[in-house]
DNA sequence: CTGTTAGCGCTTTCAA
DNA sequence: TTGAAAGCGCTAACAG
């Protein structure tokens, strides 16, 4: 019952050597049924619990993986974490969850922690240019997988969403309803998803022959406040957009608040589509149309890749599809809008 | 640059013994300036990174703590986790974050993992009756702190919110506006906060001499769907409540959806107050009045207590105050309501 | 102030 | 199939 029961105690109680006890408990080598039974019994009676640290030290396998997300409080990353964690647990791996807080310095701090803790592998939603400790990881040859985001110049397996497809779905949806001036609220260029979605947007706009007025393009930082600022800027235009596309859920929330503050009704005066589906987006009034990826699947898949790499396999990058979930926020028609704020 | 640089390598390069190298790098004992400089130099040149597992094995101190929350995807717990994690990091402790998923079996699984990993201490938002591995923890004498919730019969320091005060604030607020029939959407009796809030509600109702009709009391499970079910039940009453009090944010969201589904307008036909402030509650339409606790402070305080206990101190339980944040959802007056659905 | 020497709890040869 | 023994990388006496 005491927590400090050691393998030696178990061996003594079972009347075998520590070697045998180890072999029985790890089940790797052959052991006699008699020994097996007595060791097992002794272990239970004593309430033996293996010391994972000693085992890791000796066997150079910690059975722990690090997961570094950009922001735990962002529901999208919480879902990724959940998916990854459950997958790891199923293979009896422990997940060390860390939060970079959208801050490159903290990202480096935690990568350092991971390395010091000698985790068996790392999953990261990276940010920045990939200087600093990200390079150290590569040199340390720790199994690494990128999730949601990537960093140029790193040959690392990744699990990402099909951003181009997602943007195209959104733009096509809006174009179908007659919108030609779509205001874009993008992410920071320092993050791969920010870049990918922007260039996809430009392509989609061209493909559908919509207005490519540069004044319709803004960029935020994937936080709520920046969505408000961007929306304000877009709506202040002398020819404001009739629809908004936000590259991230939190910025979409900020934009919704700003639009409302200006007395405009989303879904009626202005159409809005957001990236990332969040459980409660359907509860907003009006419910938000989104381009959704399955965050949990992103996390689970990333963990699966990582475990593959850890076990000596090779992992191929995976791109998961996105899908459009049309809800009321995008039901506004451009004509409608024009009538409401003719030239604001 | 290689990840497998060992202390021995550093010592060799610096021309000192491993003992001295260890002393310099851990900074615990006195060392000569000369040795210090050369060891430090050697460590940097070699890219030495301490092996935390070996250190933990030898010194019986892992510098890792376990944090077990009931549901990572609940923003409330995400905030707690964030607060705890940042506090731990400041004292250079690593946080192992685990997710019980509101499931007692998974709670036990992770407690087991924590014990096996030999963490220095554990923070948990517990559930259930405290059988199973929770008892094992006590016997293992691992420093333990409860956060948000407690379990009867455990003499463990805790950081909780002042539930009684919170409920009283909410009830007083609604009573002030003339409401006498408040429908209560409570949590599960298996969780301490569920029990505490319910009994506080009954007391507040009595204190303000409001209607104590038992049909006004319902219970959910702290998940969204149950809030909808509970609201449906309350509104189906032949004398429906004119105000709703939800003991948890997710259930509140469910209730909002259900109320809206029935064609009633929150803030006009029906007042609503919810527990737990969530960043986006202000963005719902109408914005939700809440009884808020500072989740981040809960987490940070819990971690502070835990670190105290780990360092041999004694920790006193802390009860943090709640505060009412009045917003539009609670502006409905009872007369108003009666007019809208006279006897539904 | 520093080198030497035992281990921490476990796995893994190597013989028997 | 098993015991004995040698470490994994580090810290903590103990002498000097």
> B31-44: per-residue pLDDT in tens?
999 999 999 999 99
Torsion of CA A102, A106, A108, A109, to 10 degrees: -160
Q: What's the predicted TM-score (pTM) here?
A: 0.90
pLDDT of residue B3: 58
A239 touches B: beta carbon within 8 Å? no
CB contact under 8 Å between B118 and A53, yes or no, is yes
B70 contacts in A (CB within 8 Å)? Answer: none
Give the pLDDT score at A81.
93
Chain B contact for A283 (CB, 8 A cutoff): yes
Q: What domains sit in chain B, N to C, each tagged with a CATH number?
A: 7-58 (1.10.260.40), 64-161+295-322 (3.40.50.2300), 163-292+325-330 (3.40.50.2300)
Asked if B239 is an interface residue toward chain A (Cβ–Cβ < 8 A), one would say: no
More confident residue, A208 or A103: A208
pLDDT at A227: 97
Residue A28 CB closer than 7 angstroms to strand D? Answer: no
State the Rg of chain A over Cα: 26
Structure tokens at A122: 């790392």
Contact B54 A57 (CB under 8 A): yes
Tens digits of residue pLDDT in A41-89: 999 999 999 999 999 999 888 999 999 999 888 889 999 999 999 999 8
Under a CB-based contact definition with an 8 Å cutoff, are residues B179 and B242 in contact? yes
Q: How many CB atoms lie within 10 A of CB B108?
A: 17
Q: Report the pLDDT averaged over residues A317-328.
A: 96
pLDDT above 70 for A339: no
**pLDDT higher than threshold 70 for residue A156:** yes
Question: For residue A3, which of B91, B75, B16, B118 has the smallest C-alpha distance?
Answer: B118
What is the pLDDT at residue B196? 97
CA of B151 to C1' of D10 (A): 39
| CA torsion through residues B239, B244, B247, B252, sign | positive
Which residues sit close to strand C, CB under 7 Å?
Answer: A 4, 6-8, 18-19, 22-23, 25-26, 28-29, 50-51, 54-55, 57-59; B 15-20, 23, 29-32, 34-35, 54, 57-58
State whether B139 and A2 contact (CB < 8 Å): yes
pLDDT digits (tens, 9 = 90+) for A167-208: 999 999 999 999 999 999 999 999 999 999 999 999 999 999
Indicate yes or no: strand D within 7 A of the C-beta of B50.
Answer: yes
Which residues does chain B have within 8 Å of residue A253's beta carbon, measured at their own beta carbons?
Answer: 280, 283
* Residue with CA nearest to D6's C1' atom: A58
- Give the CA-to-C1' distance from B270 to D11 in angstroms: 66
pLDDT at A213: 97
Identify the residue whose Cα has the smallest distance to the C1' of D13. Answer: B19
Contact B85 A98 (CB under 8 A): yes
- Report how far residue A245's alpha carbon sits from residue A276's, in angstroms, rounded to the nearest whole number: 12
* Cβ–Cβ gap A52/B140 under 8 Å: no
Q: Which long-range contacts (CB under 8 A, 24 or more apart) does B283-287 make?
A: B283/A253, B283/A256, B283/A257, B283/A284, B284/A283, B284/A284, B284/A285, B284/B256, B284/B329, B285/A260, B285/A284, B285/A285, B286/B327, B286/B328, B286/B329, B286/B331, B287/B327, B287/B328, B287/B329
Percent of chain A with pLDDT over 70: 96
What average pLDDT does this structure show over A272-281? Answer: 89
User: Which pLDDT belongs to residue B343?
Assistant: 38
Confidence of residue A129 (pLDDT cuts 50, 70, 90): confident
Confidence of residue A136 (pLDDT cuts 50, 70, 90): confident
Distance separating alpha carbons of residues B15 and B28, to the nearest angstrom: 20
Q: What is the pLDDT along chain B (344 residues), one digit of tens a residue?
A: 445 899 999 999 999 999 999 999 988 888 999 999 999 999 999 999 999 999 999 988 899 999 999 988 888 999 999 999 999 989 989 888 888 887 888 899 889 889 998 999 999 999 877 777 888 888 888 999 999 999 999 999 999 999 999 999 999 999 999 999 999 999 999 999 999 999 999 999 999 999 999 999 999 999 899 999 999 999 999 999 999 999 999 999 999 999 999 999 999 999 999 999 887 888 788 889 999 999 999 999 999 999 999 998 999 999 999 999 999 999 998 864 444 444 33
Residue of B nearest to A58 (CA): B54
Q: Of A81, A99, A284, which is closest to B85 when you measure between CB atoms?
A: A99
Q: What is the mean pLDDT of chain A?
A: 91
Contacts of B267 (CB under 8 A, 6+ apart): B286, B328, B329, B330, B331, B332
Q: Which residues pair with A290 in a beta bridge?
A: A274, A325
pLDDT attached to residue A337: 45
pLDDT for position A3: 59
> B74 or A211: which carries more pLDDT confidence?
A211
What per-residue confidence (pLDDT) applies to B1? 40
pLDDT tens by residue, A224-253 = 999 999 999 999 999 999 999 999 999 999
| Closest Cβ–Cβ partner in A1, A50, A117 for B52 | A117
Flag whether residue A46 sits within 8 Å of chain B, measured between CB atoms: no
For the cut 70, the answer to whether the pLDDT of residue A336 exceeds it is no
Q: CB neighbours of A162 closer than 8 A, spacing ≥ 6?
A: A319, A320, A321, A322
A60/B contact by beta carbon, under 8 A = no
């Amino acid at each position: 019952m005491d927590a400090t029961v050691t393998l030696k105690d178990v061996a003594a109680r079972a009347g075998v050597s520590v070697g045998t006890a180890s072999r029985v408990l790890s089940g790797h080598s052959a052991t006699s049924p008699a020994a097996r039974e007595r060791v097992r019994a002794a272990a239970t009676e004593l309430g033996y619990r293996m010391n994972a640290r000693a085992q890791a030290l000796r066997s150079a396998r910690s059975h722990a993986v690090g997961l570094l997300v950009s922001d735990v409080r962002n529901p999208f990353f919480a879902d990724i974490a959940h998916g990854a964690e459950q997958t790891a647990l199923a293979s009896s791996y422990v997940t060390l969850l860390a939060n970079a807080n959208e801050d490159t310095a903290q990202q480096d701090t935690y990568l350092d922690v991971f390395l010091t803790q000698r985790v068996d592998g790392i999953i990261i939603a990276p940010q920045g240019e990939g200087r600093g400790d990200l390079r150290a990881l590569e040199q340390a040859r720790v199994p690494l997988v990128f999730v949601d985001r990537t960093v140029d110049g790193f040959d690392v397996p990744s699990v990402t969403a099909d951003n181009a497809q997602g943007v195209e779905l959104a733009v096509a949806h809006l174009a179908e309803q007659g919108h030609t001036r779509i205001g874009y609220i993008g992410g920071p260029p320092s993050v791969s998803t920010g870049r990918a979605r922007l260039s996809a947007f430009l392509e989609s706009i061209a493909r559908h022959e919509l207005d490519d007025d540069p004044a319709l393009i803004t960029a935020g930082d994937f936080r709520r406040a920046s969505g408000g600022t961007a929306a304000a800027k877009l709506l202040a235009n002398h020819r404001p957009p009739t629809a908004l596309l936000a590259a991230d859920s939190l910025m979409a929330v900020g934009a919704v608040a700003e639009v409302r503050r200006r007395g405009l009704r989303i879904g009626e005066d202005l159409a809005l589509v957001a990236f990332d589906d969040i459980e409660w987006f359907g509860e907003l009034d009006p419910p938000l149309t989104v381009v959704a990826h399955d965050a949990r699947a992103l996390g689970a898949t990333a963990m699966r890749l990582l475990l593959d790499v850890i076990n000596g396999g090779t992992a191929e990058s995976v791109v998961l599809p996105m899908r459009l979930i049309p809800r009321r926020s995008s039901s506004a028609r451009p004509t409608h809008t024009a009538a409401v704020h003719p030239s604001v």
